[in-house]
Amino acid sequence: MSYPEPRYLGDGGESSAVLRPAGTPPDLDIGASDAGRVHSGTRVTYLGTGGTTNGAFGLYRWEMGAEPSGPMPHFHRTITESFYILSGTVRLHDGTGWKDTVPGDFLFVPEGGVHGFRNESGEPASMLLLFTPGAPREGYFEELAEIAASGRTPSEEEWADIYGRHDQYMV
């Protein structure tokens, strides 16, 4: 294995780093959120999108409330997906079955690898999701948030269209 071809061809480097301070609010709420109570939906923080990383990767903090949530087994044709558990217990599907994972556990899924994740613990849980290369996953997440906020139930044909546009193939 070797380093890829250079993408930066300048001589002296440049000031181009982007810092996202820890106190920055999440970018997206998916599902219910009740004032004064524990958040019951999912909060998504766009740490690094394909757009901000020049297509290198997409990194998202995924904070799930206590209510069950997360996608069933699926795969992607064009992107890898990795999971790093930060807090709580997250059920990850590794292509062979569901595994309960805890902080510090890591799962890498190559293109075509069947996977899924669920919070079924009854307690909040959080993880980092990493996609390579940096696909525009925020569009998919934002569609899910709009569906949850509207309360509508897409038909099978609508789900097939949504999944097809976002490289998501349910199994």
Domain that holds residue 107: 28-170
CATH number at residue 92: 2.60.120.10
pLDDT at 31: 84
How far, in Å, CA of 66 to CA of 133, rounded? 31
pLDDT at 80: 98
In a domain, 4, yes or no: no
* Contact assessment for residue 54 and residue 7, using Cβ atoms and an 8 Å cutoff: yes
In a domain, 6, yes or no: no
Please state whether beta strands 125-132 and 58-64 pair in parallel, antiparallel, or not at all (unpaired): antiparallel
pLDDT at 79: 98
Q: What is the DSSP letter of 9?
A: -
In a domain, 12, yes or no: no
Counting the structural domains of the chain, the total is: 1
Q: Kind and range of the H or E element at 157?
A: helix 156-165
Beta-carbon contacts of 19 under 8 Å, excluding residues fewer than 6 positions away, are: none
φ/ψ of residue 47, rounded to 5: -75, -45
pLDDT at 168: 97
pLDDT at 155: 96
Q: 158 by DSSP, 3-state: which?
A: helix
* 108-156 pLDDT, tens digit each: 999 999 999 999 999 999 999 999 999 999 999 999 999 999 999 999 9
pLDDT at 33: 55
In a domain, 83, yes or no: yes
How far, in Å, CA of 93 to CA of 100, rounded? 9
pLDDT at 147: 93
In a domain, 99, yes or no: yes
pLDDT tens-place values along the chain, 171 residues long? 999 999 899 999 999 999 999 999 999 999 865 544 445 689 999 999 999 999 999 999 999 999 988 999 999 999 999 999 999 999 999 999 999 999 999 999 999 999 999 999 999 999 999 999 999 999 999 999 999 999 999 999 999 999 999 999 999
